[in-house]
């Protein structure tokens, strides 16, 4: 079997160490991948490229169409564009899939039964990047919602639910206030949902939906929503499932896909072998499924679960007095590899 | 002591029954108020006034400058404007104060130590109501952030913290993406916060801030944020403190103030004597403080706490097997009155 070329970026902050751990696991598991390393993020920004990514990196991405990306740091200042956002847009990655699942009792959580997948629209909304200063005192940002954008993401959510044997898709919007924009999202949700009689559907105003998600996440299955709500509420869901440090995310487009951790580059703990590689690893598992290496994906996932089940954890998950053992980033990867 | 005139609206759905219960409690507690009842909401909308509020109602509000408002229902359809929003804007109610506190062990919660106050900007952001259809397929909504708006709400938050002896104000924004709009909010937070050396301050990106709030709310004190984040996260905070059904809110302006429950009109349980009047009552307690009747406010608050402590609850809070007793809306008010 020939190796699938993938583009890899080590990123900033804790990026390099969790990417190293992740790639070691993938190699040990026998993933048939040929990583091409590109340079993006802080160094590129500071070398004067305000997009954080150069043309040879784009060239690799356009060729491999599969991107495993560690967290990066965007320097402060209005001159720098978020690479996360520009990559999602440039590659047309319209769907951001964020599974948030409890691993109780191995990872402490108040919501042991939760298993929620957040399907976040990934290109529109306030992330369209249209922002301007009207006067010294008045600033505006444009929220953009389009029918094709809504159709793509809503259809993706229902197709995903069907494929995964999930029972219900819930829509979160604020269409009592944003009657046109969020109203459109809601309307398209109803229209397209009607084509999936096998999947139950309902919708909630995002405020009360968020409250219920935080309080009783086990009642949700798949939730689809515009970009910004999805950004905020996937962090909430991942954290109450166990930790934002453990959730991975798939950014899916018609041509390309990008896989990452949902957390950031955590510069405060960088280089100390403290970071949890699980978020990126869960992104990588989604990548393996995407490129048709389901068997390797399952092998990695099972070994990861076994590692957790034996109480082996990085510092963020480790709790004293719970027969946990505390490991560094690379030792955690080693423990996982030993269980492959 | 002469009675303070206040404007009262019974609202829609469960509004009338919780307002009745609340006013009965206030009267029994000896509140020196002279309620003027106005008609707003569903009936007014359906009679052809798309704002849901008529000119005599405005006249009363402009005169009394104090508004105790039950939840109202805005009919579906893009022709109807949210009365909550238009009232806040017409009366210049720039600060929305939402205390979210646990009453453990009397009210079940996973976060017994939480005591968070959310200070929500109340006029700007996507709530400015500037929304339009560009083409059949493209809809836009404008997010507006102004320097005077930021200054008012941030100063309010720090003044509130100082007055209440609170120790820290945290700011939630998404200024890694909205560098101009949320960037302005953040910058003003730093500028004005520097005038309050007695109050600690920090800021978080709203996604991770929301995750921490949902997971470990006890680490927060006062949190100030733009309108939409405040809408969503005050529902989250109120719910995990016990129930959105219990939180009251003060909408404060330089001239007027409006007090309400943070929950909606819940038409599904209307007229069944099931609703919890506590949210509106907590709004009314804030109103009593606002009009200088602190003693009555304290009397009501203490009787309310005693009622909870004795396990007397409406259906939303009641749990079987916890030596709780289940009461209807009016019986709950009676129990409270008996403890004044
Ligand atoms: C880093 C930031 C631009 C990004 C986002 O807001 O989408 C992150 O929070 C995420 O959720 O992937
Ligand atoms: C009813 C609605 C307009 C309102 C809001 O969004 O502000 C409500 O959710 C609230 O929080 O008071």
Domain for residue B1, yes or no?
A: yes
Alpha carbon distances (Å) from A237 to A42, A311, B196, B313? 29, 22, 34, 30
Q: What is the mean pLDDT of chain B?
A: 96
pLDDT of residue B129: 82
Instruction: Examine the domain organization and report whether A190 and A210 are in the same domain.
Output: yes
Q: What is the mean pLDDT of chain A?
A: 96
Q: B131, B150, B225: which to substitute to probe chain A, counting the most A Cβ within 10 Å?
A: B131
Model confidence at A79: pLDDT above 90: no
A208 reaches B (C-beta below 8 A):
yes
Q: Find out whether A143 and A125 touch, Cβ atoms under 8 Å.
A: yes
**Could you say which of A241, A266, A284 is where a domain stops?**
A241
Instruction: Examine the domain organization and report whether B115 and B188 are in the same domain.
Output: yes
CB atoms B184 and A143 under 8 Å? no
Cβ-based contacts of B148 with chain A (< 8 Å)? 137
Instruction: Examine the domain organization and report whether B275 and B336 are in the same domain.
Output: yes
Model confidence at A59: pLDDT above 90: yes
Domain for residue A101, yes or no?
A: no
Is the distance from the beta carbon of residue B84 to the nearest atom of ligand 2 less than 6 Å?
yes
Quote the CA–CA distance of A101 and A14 in Å, as a whole number: 23
Model confidence at A224: pLDDT above 80: yes
pLDDT in tens, B199-241: 999 999 999 999 999 999 999 999 999 999 999 999 999 999 9
pLDDT of residue A171: 98
Of B82, B140, B176, Cβ closest to residue A143: B140
Is the distance from the beta carbon of residue B82 to the nearest atom of ligand 2 less than 6 Å?
yes
B211 reaches A (C-beta below 8 A):
yes
Instruction: Examine the domain organization and report whether B280 and B316 are in the same domain.
Output: yes
Beta carbons within 8 Å of A321's beta carbon, 6+ residues apart? none
Instruction: Pick the more confident residue, B146 or A84.
Output: B146
* pTM for this model (two decimals): 0.96
pLDDT in tens, B283-299: 999 999 999 999 999 99
Quote the CA–CA distance of B7 and B286 in Å, as a whole number: 15
Model confidence at A168: pLDDT above 90: yes
The tokens for A25 are: 């696991």
CA of A211 to the centre of ligand 2 (A): 13
User: Which band of pLDDT confidence, cut at 50, 70 and 90, is reported for residue B266?
Assistant: very high
Of A127, A144, A232, Cβ closest to residue B140: A144
pLDDT of residue A125: 96
Atom 7, ligand 1: which residue's CA is nearest? A231
User: Which band of pLDDT confidence, cut at 50, 70 and 90, is reported for residue A327?
Assistant: very high
Model confidence at B65: pLDDT above 70: yes
Model confidence at A78: pLDDT above 70: no
pLDDT of residue B276: 97
Instruction: Examine the domain organization and report whether A204 and A129 are in the same domain.
Output: yes
Instruction: Examine the domain organization and report whether B189 and B222 are in the same domain.
Output: yes
**Could you say which of A201, A217, A241 is where a domain stops?**
A241
Nearest CA-CA partner of A234 in A27, A136, A95 = A95
Instruction: Examine the domain organization and report whether B283 and B222 are in the same domain.
Output: no
Chain center to CA of B258: 9
Query: Considering its fold, how many domains does chain A have in total?
Result: 2
Instruction: Examine the domain organization and report whether B225 and B283 are in the same domain.
Output: no
Mutation pick for ligand 2 pocket among B15, B84, B89, B123 (CB with most ligand atoms within 8 Å): B84
Count of all residues that appear for chain A in the document? 340
**Could you say which of B185, B220, B241 is where a domain stops?**
B241
Alpha carbon distances (Å) from B116 to A158, B222, B226? 37, 6, 16
The dihedral formed by the CA atoms of B230, A265, A238 and A190, expressed in degrees to the nearest 10: 70
Model confidence at B309: pLDDT above 80: yes
CATH number at residue B8: 3.40.718.10
pLDDT of residue B302: 98
Residue with tokens 């002469």: B2
Of B139, B206, B240, Cβ closest to residue A181: B139
Quote the CA–CA distance of B212 and B157 in Å, as a whole number: 20
Quote the CA–CA distance of A252 and A293 in Å, as a whole number: 17
CA of A231 to the centre of ligand 1 (A): 6
- Average pLDDT in the A258-271 region? 95
Ligand number nearest CA of B228 is 2
CB atoms A229 and B232 under 8 Å? yes
Ligand number nearest CA of B176 is 1
User: Which band of pLDDT confidence, cut at 50, 70 and 90, is reported for residue B74?
Assistant: confident
User: Which band of pLDDT confidence, cut at 50, 70 and 90, is reported for residue B194?
Assistant: very high
- Average pLDDT in the A150-169 region? 98
A238 reaches B (C-beta below 8 A):
yes
CA of A266 to the centre of ligand 2 (A): 34
User: Which band of pLDDT confidence, cut at 50, 70 and 90, is reported for residue B78?
Assistant: low
Instruction: Examine the domain organization and report whether B129 and B222 are in the same domain.
Output: yes
pLDDT of residue A81: 81
- Average pLDDT in the A220-244 region? 97
* Pocket, ligand 1, Cβ cutoff 6 A: A 82, 84-85, 231, 262, 264; B 176-177, 207
Quote the CA–CA distance of A240 and A215 in Å, as a whole number: 9
Instruction: Examine the domain organization and report whether A210 and A250 are in the same domain.
Output: no
CB atoms B136 and A147 under 8 Å? yes
Count of all residues that appear for chain B in the document? 340
Atom 11, ligand 2: which residue's CA is nearest? B231
CB atoms A138 and B146 under 8 Å? yes
For Cα atoms A337, A245, B209, give the angle at the middle one, nearest 5 degrees.
Answer: 175
Cβ-based contacts of A142 with chain B (< 8 Å)? 140-143
pLDDT in tens, A95-147: 999 999 999 999 999 999 999 999 999 999 999 889 999 999 999 999 999 99
Cβ neighbours, 10 Å, residue A78: 11
CB atoms B232 and A232 under 8 Å? yes
CA of A129 to the centre of ligand 1 (A): 13
Cis-peptide into A85, omega within 30 deg? no
CB atoms A140 and B136 under 8 Å? no
Quote the CA–CA distance of A176 and A187 in Å, as a whole number: 13
CB atoms A137 and B147 under 8 Å? yes
Domain that holds residue A150: 110-241
Of B129, B132, B207, Cβ closest to residue A235: B207
Instruction: Examine the domain organization and report whether B23 and B118 are in the same domain.
Output: no
Nearest CA-CA partner of B105 in B319, B278, B275, B301 = B319
Domain for residue B312, yes or no?
A: yes
* A and B: number of Cβ contacts within 8 A: 153
Instruction: Pick the more confident residue, A321 or B18.
Output: B18
Report the share of chain B in percent with pLDDT over 70: 99
The tokens for B190 are: 């730093």
The dihedral formed by the CA atoms of B55, B60, B61 and B63, expressed in degrees to the nearest 10: 120
């Amino acid at each position: 079997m020939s190796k699938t070329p993938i583009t890899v970026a080590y990123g900033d902050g804790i990026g390099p160490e969790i990417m190293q751990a992740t790639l070691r696991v993938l190699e040990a598991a026998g993933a048939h991948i040929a990583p091409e390393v590109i340079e993006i993020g802080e160094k590129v920004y500071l070398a004067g490229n305000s997009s954080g990514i150069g043309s040879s990196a784009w060239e690799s991405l356009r060729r491999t169409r599969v991107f495993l990306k560690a967290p990066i740091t965007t320097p402060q200042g209005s001159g720098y564009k978020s690479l996360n956002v520009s990559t999602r847009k440039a590659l047309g990655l319209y769907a951001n899939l964020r599974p948030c699942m409890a691993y109780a009792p191995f990872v402490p959580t108040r919501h042991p039964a939760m298993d929620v997948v957040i399907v976040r629209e990934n290109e529109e909304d306030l992330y369209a990047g249209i922002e301007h200063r009207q006067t010294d005192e008045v600033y505006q940002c444009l929220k953009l919602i389009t029918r094709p954008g809504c159709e793509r993401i809503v259809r993706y959510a229902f197709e995903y639910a069907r494929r995964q044997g999930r029972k219900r898709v819930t829509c979160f919007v604020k269409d009592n206030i944003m009657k046109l924009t969020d109203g459109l999202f809601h309307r398209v949700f109803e229209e397209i949902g009607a084509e999936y009689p096998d999947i139950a559907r309902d919708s909630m105003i995002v405020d009360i939906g968020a409250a219920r998600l935080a309080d009783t996440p086990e009642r949700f299955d798949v939730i689809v929503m515009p970009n910004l709500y999805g950004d905020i509420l996937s962090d909430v869901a991942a954290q109450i499932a166990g930790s934002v440090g453990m959730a991975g995310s798939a950014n899916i487009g018609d041509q390309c896909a990008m896989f990452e951790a949902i957390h950031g580059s955590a510069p405060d703990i960088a280089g100390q072998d403290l970071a949890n590689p699980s978020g990126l690893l869960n992104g990588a598992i989604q990548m393996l499924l995407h490129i048709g290496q389901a068997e390797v994906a399952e092998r990695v996932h099972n070994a990861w679960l076994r590692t957790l089940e034996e109480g082996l954890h990085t510092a963020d998950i480790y709790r004293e007095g719970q027969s946990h053992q505390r490991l560094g980033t690379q030792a955690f990867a080693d423990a996982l590899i030993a269980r492959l």
